[in-house]
Structure 1
Amino acid sequence: MIGVYRADAGRLVAAEGGLDDLASAVWIDMHDPKAGEEKQVEAALELDIPTREDMQEIEVSSRLYDERGALFLTAQVLASVEGQEPEIAPVTFVLAKDRLVTVRYHAPGSFKVFADRAMRSPMGCVSGQGTLLALMETMVERLADVLEGEARKLDALTKAIFEAHRPSGKAATLAVILQRIGRAEDLNGKITESLSTIQRLLGYLSMPSGHAAEAAVKGIDRGRLKVLLRDVRALGETAGVQSRKILFQLDATLGVINIRQADIIKIFSVVAFVFLPPTLIASVYGMNFVHMPELQWDWGYPMALGLMLLSAVIPWAIFRAKKWL
């Protein structure tokens, strides 16, 4: 599917002619394009659209380069759909002939939010460079929202970890907490990866290498670019803080599990120690010797029971006094 938008006083307007209006387009959004659609865009702009395999390359030279007067920039973009696992995949931004072309094979929510917002109010989308900056601002804003939401979840998770250590806490809660920590680390790692690639992309825009790259970003708003780069760095630091917090939560959860296991082992040890003296007494009077005076006493049996009870109560009382139970 390909969306074609033209500029109107800083706003975006969907081109009624679709692919027939490529000449007047300021933004061409290629979402999982078909082969015919891709060839039509390539013919209109006289450039080669990178394939899905090309976009997966991790070398910087394969992600940030200029070719035939066009600037190709690839970044990892997060797509977090409610109720599903977050997905991260590459998106290529192409600045060519004063227009922006985006190539993607997944559906980040920031793209839809940007399109709706830019069609309602002016966002400086008068050129490909301005549209790219506005789109980047929306993507960074979306990542900031995700980080804020995760921060609140991590605070609640910390509380749940230490509540699980209380005597009334359920042991089954710890297994759920470990799963939540794993999901939080996975999402935070994807956010960090996305921010690092976006920062590299913005850094390349601020200091392009080569005459073709400089020409492609000529006229870009340096002030907006500088602010955007600063915001990305700040979000990267926030993601780093949350990563350390997740590691703390993992250590704390494993510590609580170890404490619970130690408590269980302690209870078994105490029970074994409490019943050891009565077992010894019962073993003594269970021996088949002829000369055992207590066996002839009328009160021998009650005395043996009393000794067993007393020998069990005394260790229990000592453990309680030392608060080991």
Structure 2
Amino acid sequence: MLKSYGVVAGRLVPVENGGATVDQVVWVDLLTPTPEEEAQTEADLSLDLPTRKEMREIEQTSRLYSEDGAQFMTAMIPAKSETDEPIMEPVTFVLTGPRLVTIRYHEPKAFELFVQRAGKGHMPCPDGEAVMLGLLEVMVDRLGDVLERAGQDVETISRRVFERQQGRARRSARWQVLLEDIGRKGGLVSVIRDSLGTLDRLSVFFGQRLRHDTGTTQATEHQGRLHDLTADIRSLSDHAAFVAQKVNFLLDATLGMISIDQNTVMQIFSVVSVVFLPPTLVASVYGMNFEGMPELSMPWGYPAALGLILLSALLPYLFFRRKGWL
């Protein structure tokens, strides 16, 4: 899908609905473009757009480069970040002259939010640089909201891990649920950190272009917005690292709790085995039925043997209780 946007009366509007001419287009958005749409955009703007495979390259030189006077910048942006299973795909920003071209194969919420805000005139978009800055600001805001929600969820999980529980029947099912929750939050935070890292590198590369644009009020404003954006990205990266450390701590703590539970169960089995060992020995002795065993013919032999069995079980039990092993 190919969408073009122009500026009419200070508002960002689709070209086909806003009455803007091709020369007034400031943003071309390619969402899962067809070969025909790619070819049309390349011909109109004299560009060689990267393929989806090229966008997924992890080398920095493949994500951030200049070619034929245009700057190509790729960042990993999550979609469906309101869930614990976000979709992570690259988005390429191409600045060519006064226009911005974006290429993407998924639908991050930030694009929709930006179009809504810019369409109401809340985010002036006189050129491609301003459009890109607005998009990046919305993306970082979204990542901040997602990270805040993830941090709150991690705090909730932390309370669940360390809360006092009565009884032991809940153990295995409860730990399984907690491990699944921790794993999902860890994956979400990892996605956010990856996205913030690519946005940080992109902002540095973008700043190199803006440094060449000096002497105008608009250029100064763009540089100031980018400076604030970079500071936000790095502060969020630090917070994401803190949340990731807490997720790892909770994972270790949960595994430690599981190990304690398992050791407790094994301890109980061991104590029970020891408690029943003396009665088993007594019963084995009197089960041999030798003729020379005087107790077998005595009237008090049977109750005495039962009493001895009971006593031999009771004494180890009391000993373990006094030691606090039960």
TM-score range, shorter chain: over 0.9
Match of 2:143 in 1: 143
Does residue 292 of structure 2 align to residue 291 of structure 1?
A: yes
Q: Quote the residue 1:24 is aligned against.
A: 24
> Shift of the alpha carbon at 1:6?
0.9
The structural deviation recorded for 1:23 is 2.7
CA shift at 1:164, angstroms?
Answer: 7.6
Corresponding residue of 1:276 = 277
The Cα of 1:253 is off from its aligned counterpart by 0.9
Q: Secondary structure at the match of 1:207?
A: helix
**How many angstroms does 1:230 deviate by?**
0.2
> Structure 2 counterpart of 1:78, which letter?
P
Distance in 1, matches of 2:52 and 2:194, equals 19
Gaps of 5+ in 2: none
Structure 2 distance, partners of 1:64, 1:130, is: 19
Paired residues of 2:7 and 2:20 also in contact (CA < 8 A): no
Alignment RMSD: 2.3
Deviations 1:155-208 (A, max 9, x none): 111122223865344321111211222211211111111101100010112234
2:231 counterpart residue number: 230
SS of aligned partner of 2:102: strand
Structure 1 unaligned segments of length 5 or more: list them.
none
**What is the Cα deviation at residue 104 of structure 1?**
0.3
Checking the alignment, whether the CA contact within 8 Å between 2:2 and 2:31 is kept in structure 1 is yes
Any residues of structure 2 matched to 1:17-56 within 5 Å, and which?
21-56=21-56
Aligned equivalent of 1:93? 93
Match of 2:313 in 1: 312
Q: Would the aligned equivalents of 1:30 and 1:103 in 2 still touch at CA under 8 Å?
A: yes
Identity %: 47
Contact kept in structure 1, 2:81 and 2:146, CA below 8 Å: no
CA distance in 1 between partners of 2:118 and 2:87 (Å) = 25
Moved more, 262-271 or 14-23: 14-23
Q: Give 1:1-325 correspondences, 5 Å limit.
A: 1-16=1-16, 21-80=21-80, 82=82, 85-163=85-163, 167-168=167-168, 169-208=170-209, 214=212, 219=219, 221-325=222-326
Q: Is the 8 A contact 2:42 2:49 kept in 1?
A: yes
Query: How far apart in 2 are the matches of 1:157 and 1:164?
Result: 13
Offset at residue 85 of structure 1 (A): 2.0
Judge conservation of contact 1:30–1:104 (CA < 8 Å) in 2.
Answer: yes
User: 1:200-238, CA deviations, whole angstroms, 9 ceiling, x for partnerless residues?
Assistant: 0101122349xxx94699936111110000000000001
Query: Which one has more relative contact order, counting CA pairs under 8 Å at least 6 apart?
Result: 1
CA contact (8 A) 2:94 2:100 kept: yes
Sort the Cα spacing of 1:21 and 1:50 in 2 relative to 1 into closer, same or farther, 3 A: farther
- What's the CA shift for 1:11? 2.6
Contact kept in structure 2, 1:23 and 1:44, CA below 8 Å: no
**Are 2:6 and 2:20, in contact at CA under 8 Å, matched by a contact in 1?**
no
Shift of 1:323: 2.1
Instruction: Name which of structure 1's ranges 132-141 and 42-51 shifts more when overlaid on structure 2.
Output: 42-51
Q: Which letter maps to 1:286? A: G
Partner amino acid, structure 1, of 2:180 = Q
1:223/1:131 Cα in 2 relative to 1: closer, same or farther (>3 Å)?
Answer: same
With normalisation by structure 1, the TM-score equals 0.93
Most deviating of 308-317 and 192-201: 308-317
Give 1:104's aligned amino acid: R
- Given that 1:192 and 1:236 are in contact with CA atoms closer than 8 Å, whether structure 2 keeps it comes out as yes
Q: Is the 8 A contact 2:80 2:86 kept in 1?
A: yes
Instruction: Look up the equivalent residue of 1:79 and give its one-letter code.
Output: A
Deviations 1:242-301 (A, max 9, x none): 111111011011101101110110111011011011111111111132211211211110
1:31/1:105 contact within 8 Å kept: yes
| 1:306 CA drift (Å) | 0.7
